[in-house]
Amino acid sequence: MSTSRQRIDVSGIPVEVVRKDIKNLHVGVYPPSGRVRVAAPVRLDDDAVRLAVISRLGWIRRKQRAFEEQGRQSQREMVTGESHYFQGRRYLLDVVEEDGSPSVRLAGHTTMQVRVRPGSDRQARELVLQRWYRRQLREQIPSLLAKWEPEVGVTVAAVCIKKLKTLWGSCNAASRRVWLNLELAKKPASCLEYILVHEMVHLLERCHSDRFREHMDRFMPQWRTHREELNRAPLAHEDWQY
């Protein structure tokens, strides 16, 4: 599918326009800064796109204000007493320096204990935690695939976990491979499930078209609630866009 990209300005709002071989125009506003993106059929010219954006200006500005008010994490220093998240719950970090293999464990519902070698710097401590997050996500995937592959009617060849800078998830329809953002380990489990199903549905319909939304409504009727929950959850300091 061929695509073209350009940027236009509508009433002072920068808009990314992506033209694709699709039937309907779709306007999206994405966290954390309220970036506006329009997926438009190739046949529509700039004037038609501008009119579509203008007709949605009220909605766009409400979404942008909501993102501005959303909580956001500062750069994590990986020190005792700092707040970290796992599956939507906030934990206070307890850093323990000792000889032995680095590890992470949850102590009750309030403390995330990270054991590191003496003298470990912020980067080394963060790497220990990221590896733990990755394992936690990886352990959840088999049961989710077993639940959703027969429901959606697709087979996923592989699910990869990585630190995506701009997306919560992505997929390659040709290879039937799905990528999930490592940051999903910090979000409620329902958000992970929603993103996985979202990408699996893209194996049926590549674009965010009416057909895509019909599939989502059928497979996961509450998907919009999960999407809002994901958007309300505290953001990392990086610029996520989804």
> pLDDT tens-digit profile of 13-61?
999 999 988 888 999 988 767 889 999 999 999 999 999 999 999 999 9
Higher pLDDT, 12 or 132: 132
Instruction: Give the pLDDT confidence score for residue 237 in this predicted structure.
Output: 40
Q: Report residue 19 as tokens.
A: 């033209």
Describe the crossing of helices 122-152 and 210-219 by its angle, rounded to 10 degrees.
Answer: 90
DSSP element (H, E) containing 145 = helix 122-152
Instruction: Give the pLDDT confidence score for residue 239 in this predicted structure.
Output: 40
Question: What residues contact residue 23 under an 8 Å CB cut-off, 6+ apart?
Answer: 41, 209, 210
CATH class of 83-232: alpha beta
Q: Are 78 and 70 in contact (CB under 8 A)?
A: no
6: phi then psi, degrees, rounded to nearest 5: -155, 165
In the chain, domain spans: 4-69, 83-232
Over 70: is that where the pLDDT of 7 sits? yes
> pLDDT tens-digit profile of 113-162?
999 999 999 999 999 999 999 999 999 999 999 999 999 999 999 999 99
Instruction: Give the pLDDT confidence score for residue 165 in this predicted structure.
Output: 74
Chain-centre distance for alpha carbon 31 = 10
> pLDDT tens-digit profile of 167-215?
889 999 889 999 999 999 999 999 999 999 999 999 999 888 889 999 9
Over 70: is that where the pLDDT of 2 sits? no
Over 80: is that where the pLDDT of 67 sits? no
- In this structure, the chain runs to a length of 242
CA dist., res. 137 & res. 127, Å (int): 15
Instruction: Give the pLDDT confidence score for residue 70 in this predicted structure.
Output: 60
Report the 10 Å Cβ neighbour count for 80.
Answer: 12
DSSP characters over 154-221: ---SEEEEE--SS-SEEEETTTTEEEEEGGGGGS-HHHHHHHHHHHHHHTT-SSS-HHHHHHHHHH-T
CA dist., res. 22 & res. 207, Å (int): 7
